Copies of this chain bind each other. A is one copy, B any other.
Amino acid sequence: MAVTAAPRPHPLAPLSEAEHVKARDAVAKLHGASESIFFRAIHVQEPKKADLQPFLEAEHKGTLTEETKRPPREAIVEHDVIRADRSEYINAIVNLDTGEVKTVAAPVPHQPYVTPGEFDHFNDACVNSDLFKKAMSEFTLPEGFEVCVEPWPYGPPNVDEKDIPRQMQGLVYAKDTRNKNPDSNHYGYPIPIIPVMDWHTKKLVRVERIATGGIGDELEAKVQSEEPVKLFENHKGCEYVPELLDYPLRTDLKPINITQPEGASFTIHDDGLIEWQKWRFRLGFTPREGAVLHDLHYDNRSVMYRLSFSEMTVPYADPRPPFHRKQAFDFGDGGMGRAANNLELGCDCLGAIHYIDVVNTEPDGSPSPGKAVVCLHEQDNGILWKHTNYRTGRAVVTRNREFVVQFICTLANYEYVLCYKLDLAGAITFETRATGIVSVTGIDEGKVSAYGNVMTPGVLAQNHQHVFAVRIDPAIDSYDGADSQVIVEESHGQKIDPKTNPYGNFYKIQREKVEKATWVDAEPRLNRLIKLENANKKNPISGKNLGYKVMAPVTQMLLCDPEGLAAQRAQFAQHNAWVTGYRDGELWAAGEFTNQSTKEIGGVADMVKRGDWFSDREANGATNGDAADKGKRSSPVVWSVFGLTHNPRVEDWPVMPVETFQIHIKPTDFFTANPAMDVPSTRNDASVLLGGSCCTTSSDKNKSGVQNNPLAHQQGSAATIDAKAAGANVDEKLSKRLSKTFNGLFGSKKEEVN
């Protein structure tokens, strides 16, 4: 068993296998023979920010020693204790130095997330259930089809349900086994029932029928006829694995190779520190969030304390019960880290790739490897900056090199490609790509629906939204973010005024400091921006606060009626941004417990209600009598919310092309100049010119006898005609002066090569 000896891991380092085992054993010992334990996740408990400061400060000053005060090294062990009557979800915090264990049971009626393993579990419970068999007896499947159950979190309960136990639900499909291919796509064959299981008893409690009508039909499912309904009589397949396609693959896409013959430009140190160009950070990976960036610095100056993808909710807009329960919280109900794909070289990632493995948790608590769940690599993203001096024709151009931290998550039918990108000019990008297979249900043949779009005959993709939240914990040129302030900046047009704005071209930049925790809605008409600043440090050139600005896409927020449960449990999704007071461990936009929730508890809305403030008490006129759990002076954390209102196109079937969003976080007066001015404008010698012949062929399509192509790559021989000969009296003086052509003036010299 190969576990590296690790006396002093970095406080932000994930658990080693040895630490994992130690934490597991500490918890296992607590339980006697009467109790079974279901281990859900074992991972590092991040240190409290205050506890970590002395260590980080020493580390960055280079004064780290064995004596440097360290935060306690702790593991969090998420597990269920399974008793005769019920299961209890418990977070145990294990001190890895002392072996001490503190346990916190989830308050009833909170329910934990659903682990992938439980998916299988649910499938078994269904197929073995008489209730399920009876429901299925209402249908006849074509020869060679078998049932395939798609587990879903239970979502928001029905109106008449109060304090119900932990339940799971599922969508049901049929799979064509005649092709003997295990990857035959079952999503093309939806069966209109939804089974519901009691998590503890592992028994189905009911099977609900769902409606399959179209415009004008009732919300309720049709009552069945005596005769079993013949399903899928005219369905066509919707395969996506190449060997099952009934059309040929393209053969004319020639390879693009991305290589780094001299190796990559980044370094991963033995203690986990990652350095690329002037960036340095530590990579975390949690079962819920996936990859997390810690302690992000540029050129030895702090920029961010922690960056993470926090939550996403996906409510479906089909009003027919029980589709109101079709609302997933992909982080809180499932977990992006748990759902991370094992990435494949040359497929998920092109070029020179470094993969990151993680330690997963088996149900018995033992560690198991999660291989290649994060990839690290560099990529070219076009031009970063360029200027051409038109007087000399000299051009200087640099390329936009990015460092990418990517992971890809599968949640049943759907995929998310998530990444962080760092660039050479000090900017940070969050990127989300949504792909995979849209969630579908059955629709009577020939009908169309106001609730979605028909993807293939008999298959309806329901309208839905994906609303993401990312968490930005700034530390603008200060380790702990204590100096951080958040500014809302707007640009306002001004009326003509003889004294101040005689021609009406002036506009005013207005800044407002966020004094208390609040939400902020987007207002592109005012170019509203959120700025993260250091309140106590000014840029020596501009005199303005050192800062970074958050440039988030302006997108539609949650459409669900705020009175309804779907909105109540996703309050984070109702505003484009939130600014809350930092508290250790507050990482979840929709709160810790989203599965089966009826309300967002402990999410950003509650954090705002708490009333933390960011300015001095005096400035605020507030009193000092706050109890610990009331609002207090804090450093601000920004949550940026954005998303996709996804009204499916036929083009989204059977697997949808990516829908991409990016949030850019760019330095604003953080540096004293463009930090990428020192990027060499080196010519890449591997690039090749495609001359006429290499990609030009005489066209078969060319039936018109057309021969010349002025746009073909030519040697550019200028026609030398005699102006006079043409009978014109051209202004000689003018011509002489103007004899240079613009393109002649431009870039005719070689770019500088360093």
A348 interfacial contact with B, CB 8 Å: yes
With a CB–CB cut-off of 8 A, which chain B residues contact A495? Answer: 561, 563
Which of A315, A339, A412, A706 has the most chain B CB atoms closer than 10 A to its own CB? A706
Interface positions, chain A 377-434, Cβ under 8 Å from B, are: 377-380, 382-392, 394-397, 399-401, 408, 410, 412-413, 415, 417, 423-427, 433
A391: nearest chain-B partner, CB-CB: B182
The distance from the CB of A221 to the nearest CB of chain B, in whole angstroms, is: 14
A713: nearest chain-B partner, CB-CB: B355
Given A502-B324, A504-B567, A561-B501: A737 touches B117 (CB 8 Å cut-off): yes
With a CB–CB cut-off of 8 A, which chain B residues contact A567? Answer: 504
With a CB–CB cut-off of 8 A, which chain B residues contact A68? Answer: 704
A615 interfacial contact with B, CB 8 Å: no
Do B271 and A730 have beta carbons less than 8 Å apart? no
Do B739 and A559 have beta carbons less than 8 Å apart? no
Given A651-B425, A748-B342: A527 touches B645 (CB 8 Å cut-off): yes
Do A556 and B527 have beta carbons less than 8 Å apart? yes
Which of A470-478, A616-624, A673-681 is the interface stretch?
A673-681
Interface positions, chain A 574-632, Cβ under 8 Å from B, are: none
Do B256 and A258 have beta carbons less than 8 Å apart? yes
Q: Which of B7, B118, B359, B657 contacts A710 (CB 8 A)?
A: B359
With a CB–CB cut-off of 8 A, which chain B residues contact A683? Answer: 344-347
Q: State the CA gap A448–B503 with chains docked (Å).
A: 22
A494: nearest chain-B partner, CB-CB: B561
The distance from the CB of A403 to the nearest CB of chain B, in whole angstroms, is: 11
Which of A9-17, A90-98, A99-107, A225-233 is the interface stretch?
A9-17
Interface positions, chain A 1-39, Cβ under 8 Å from B, are: 1-10, 13-18, 20-21, 24-25, 28-29, 31-38
A360 interfacial contact with B, CB 8 Å: yes
Given A240-B396, A249-B680, A726-B29: A273 touches B701 (CB 8 Å cut-off): yes
Q: Which of B560, B657, B705 contacts A427 (CB 8 A)?
A: B657
Interface positions, chain A 334-389, Cβ under 8 Å from B, are: 338-373, 377-380, 382-389
Q: State the CA gap A706–B5 with chains docked (Å).
A: 10
The distance from the CB of A302 to the nearest CB of chain B, in whole angstroms, is: 15
With a CB–CB cut-off of 8 A, which chain B residues contact A436? Answer: 385-387
Q: Which of B8, B159, B401 contacts A256 (CB 8 A)?
A: B401
Q: State the CA gap A427–B651 with chains docked (Å).
A: 11
Known pairs A63-B703, A348-B383; list 7 more (Cβ under 8 Å).
A242-B396, A249-B678, A257-B261, A257-B687, A269-B701, A315-B505, A342-B747
Do B561 and A504 have beta carbons less than 8 Å apart? yes
With a CB–CB cut-off of 8 A, which chain B residues contact A499? Answer: 219
Do B354 and A690 have beta carbons less than 8 Å apart? yes
Q: State the CA gap A751–B242 with chains docked (Å).
A: 11
A285 interfacial contact with B, CB 8 Å: yes
Q: State the CA gap A667–B657 with chains docked (Å).
A: 11
Do B2 and A506 have beta carbons less than 8 Å apart? no
Interface string of A433-474 (1 = CB under 8 A from B): 101110000000000101101111100000100000000000
A572 interfacial contact with B, CB 8 Å: no
A655 interfacial contact with B, CB 8 Å: yes
Do A684 and B350 have beta carbons less than 8 Å apart? yes
Given A119-B390, A254-B265: A704 touches B271 (CB 8 Å cut-off): yes
Given A38-B738, A506-B318: A255 touches B695 (CB 8 Å cut-off): no
With a CB–CB cut-off of 8 A, which chain B residues contact A448? Answer: 542-543
Q: State the CA gap A678–B242 with chains docked (Å).
A: 8
Q: State the CA gap A270–B396 with chains docked (Å).
A: 34
Q: State the CA gap A451–B527 with chains docked (Å).
A: 16
Q: State the CA gap A223–B657 with chains docked (Å).
A: 63
Do A387 and B240 have beta carbons less than 8 Å apart? yes
Would you mind naming 5 contact pairs between A and B with Cβ atoms under 8 Å apart? A116-B390, A156-B503, A426-B651, A542-B650, A651-B669
Interface string of A214-247 (1 = CB under 8 A from B): 0000010000000000000000001011110101
Do A649 and B667 have beta carbons less than 8 Å apart? yes
The distance from the CB of A107 to the nearest CB of chain B, in whole angstroms, is: 24
Do B710 and A36 have beta carbons less than 8 Å apart? no
Do A260 and B265 have beta carbons less than 8 Å apart? no
With a CB–CB cut-off of 8 A, which chain B residues contact A272? Answer: 706, 709-712
